[in-house]
A and B are shown apart, each in its own frame.
Chain A
Amino acid sequence: MIRAQGLVAAHPGGPFMAFPDVDLPQGGVLLLRGPSGSGKSTWLALVAGLMSPAQGSLTVADTVLAPVGSSSPVGAARDVWRARHVGLLPQKLHLSAALTVAQNLALVHWAAGVPAQPHQVDDALAALGVADLAGSRPHKLSVGQVQRVALARAVLLRPPVLLADEPTASLDDGAARAALALLLTTARQSQASLVLATHDARVVQALQQAQLEEGIFLKEMCLQRNAEKRGQL
């Protein structure tokens, strides 16, 4: 779940950004719309605990991130919290070129400070149909394969919140549809809340269709390009 009220972000030296309130129950899908530059990535950074808001309250996966209280993870504890609770699919689906696909997934265990679990890696790759790529280097993968591997990495520790930043950018219609279906299915299988940040009309359409046909819980949040003006304090 994600609950945000009166959230204001401040980039060091930059303008303030105010965001609309949101209350997303566990397992719901949030469509975060807005043109590029409207603050979608900043909002994702706040929810992922990569940034602290200047104002407002924010609770993600039953953890109060702001205002900072006694139970709020700070410093290294916040990194550990993120590893366990938030699966991130950044716009640039970066896989480490120095490592094989399986090792890229094992990186999650290393980063989270948990013992290596090769079976979990195998299972995650198999669930996304890319088990046979385990030993491959990332540069040999197609765009679609990279997406599946990155998704496998994001859900490896079964985080309750999954954040995807422009997951369909630079994909053709067919691939975009497949990527979206993959995201929805994967999120549903692990009962994760899913946030899709996009300015892609195809995604909006497809999600609205899925709401009608499959009955997913869908919320929308629209950001304006001039969000920072609204937030001028």
Chain B
Amino acid sequence: MNSVVLSWRYAWANPLSAALNVVTLALGLGALAFILLAEQRVTQALERDVAGIDVVVGAKGSPLQLILAGVYHLDVPPGNIALSDVEALRQHPQVAQLIPLSLGDNVGGHRIVGTTPDYVALYGGQLASGHLWAQPMQAVLGAQVADHLGLAVGDRFVGLHGLAAGGHGHGDMPYTVVGVLRPSGSVLDRLALTATESVWAVHEADMAQDDEDRAALAAERDITLALIRYTTPLAAVTFPRWVNTGTDMQAAAPAYELSRLLRLLGAGTDVLRALAVALVAVAGLSVFLALWQAVRERRADLALLRLLGAGPRKVAGLLLAEALWLAFLACGLGLLLAQGLMTALPLLMPPEAAGLVASHRWPLQLWGVPALALGVALLAAALPAWGAYRVDVAHLLNAPA
């Protein structure tokens, strides 16, 4: 029997109190771990989706809305921009690449995005089957979309008007699935991609009564927004100002809007984090009380250990090991709890947001949870261990029977 086994037996001498302490501490640590995980995953997902996009140009409105709509596909876009304006943007010397996005329809709640193959390349999307669209009314589905709707290459589907599920169908213009993307962890997973021309065709067919209408609509063609990469980082200074003051459009820098968004979210997570820390502190106090109680109740036990030849350090170490056992169990249970919640979370969220938390890597900050458990254990055990260190051995000799 060594100290590890012995401290385990002592820790469970009072199973109810030990279990309660483990559970309390696990709840605190679990809450903290969950907040860390969720925060990190959301941040990671948000940052991954803005990579490679220097500026988003769309109709005038809220810049944050433009980013949420154009990059993350969470919000509705502020409006459309005319094709001629887009051409002017494309000709601008500071624009290296322009990817047009046309929004407006959905399939089963997943957005149908009219764009160019550059959009797939932007996120490094790779085909799991089929090929990219070559002509209008061909669609490539993100991994989640294909999975969710049970569609495969060769299947047909009808786009519904609007960005959320529901809306009236464009029954006479069905799309044909020509490719399915591999899961990439990016926003592509939850989109249905097609050519910009498809979106035009669907809506013109819907609205036009005759050829004259069709010609008029073709002349007024527009897109929803444009994702732009600069030729030089210096453009960040002048280009947005040129768009915002010189055109009817607005330019929003995703990096800036993202940090603004994270600051807004951050205030909320700070409160949650403080709550979790308070929970851990309370649990630490309860472990301390349990150990302190144990030292008082087991004064005779501890004196006996000293009597049998265990040095004061060994006896104090036993108390410490007991606290570490509780912390270790609570830490394991807490992390399990947090991971369980993280796994369950996407099921509770709307499908377009679920992608934000789906990840399986644990962030480095999560090491803070075992570190905190260790700290709490050491702190809670410090005074009881000191009491055990100083326990009076003669006490046992002099104690009345």
Contact = CB atoms under 8 A, between A and B. Distances in A.
A80 B400 CA distance: 26
B1 A41 contact: no
Give the size category of A's interface with B.
35 or more
Contact of A79 (B13, B306, B399, B401): B306
Given A92-B300, A99-B9, A169-B401, A107 B396 contact: no
Interface centre among A45, A81, A84, A98, by most B CB within 10 Å?
A: A98
B309 A50 contact: no
B343 interface: no
A83 interface: yes
Contacts of A112: 308-310
A68 interface: no
Contacts of A142: none
A96 B301 contact: yes
A87 B342 CA distance: 57
Contacts of B10: 98
A84 B309 contact: yes
Give the size category of B's interface with A.
20 to 34
Given A97-B13, A106-B1, A79 B397 contact: no
A110 B396 contact: no
A45 B308 contact: no
Contacts of A75: 311
Given A97-B13, A98-B10, A41 B300 contact: no
A90 B3 CA distance: 24
Interface in B5-49: 6, 9-10, 12-13
A111 B397 contact: no
Interface in B199-217: none
Interface of B is mostly: helix
B34 to A, nearest CB: 34
Contact of B1 (A51, A79, A103, A169): A103
Given A44-B397, A109-B1, A166-B401, A94 B301 contact: yes
Interface in A104-159: 106-113, 116, 153
Given A108-B308, A111-B305, A41 B397 contact: yes
Interface string B98-128: 0000000000000000000000000000000
B300 A79 contact: no
Nearest to A157: B309
A111 B399 contact: no
Interface string B282-320: 000000000000000010110111111111111000000
Given A109-B1, A111-B305, A111-B314, A98 B397 contact: no
A51 B398 CA distance: 13
Contact of B310 (A91, A98, A111): A111
B2 interface: yes
B159 to A, nearest CB: 69
A96 B304 contact: yes
Contacts of A103: 1, 9
Given A76-B313, A110-B2, A110-B310, A45 B305 contact: no
B258 interface: no
A170 B399 CA distance: 14
A82 interface: yes
Nearest to B6: A110
Interface in A157-189: 165-166, 169-170
A192 interface: no
A83 B309 contact: yes
B13 A94 contact: no
A88 interface: yes
B394 A111 contact: no
Contacts of A169: 401
A83 B401 contact: no
Contacts of B398: 41
Contacts of B311: 75-76, 79-80
A43 B78 CA distance: 93
B397 A94 contact: no
A108 B400 CA distance: 23
A198 B227 CA distance: 96
Contacts of B303: 94
A92 B401 contact: yes
A170 B401 CA distance: 8
Contacts of A76: 311-313
13 contacts: A45-B393, A48-B307, A51-B394, A76-B311, A76-B312, A80-B311, A90-B307, A91-B400, A98-B12, A107-B6, A107-B304, A108-B309, A110-B3
Interface of B: 1-3, 6, 9-10, 12-13, 298, 300-301, 303-314, 393-394, 396-401
Given A92-B399, A109-B1, 20 more contacts: A41-B398, A50-B393, A79-B312, A81-B309, A82-B309, A83-B309, A90-B307, A92-B396, A96-B298, A96-B304, A98-B13, A98-B301, A107-B6, A107-B305, A110-B1, A110-B2, A111-B309, A111-B310, A165-B397, A170-B401
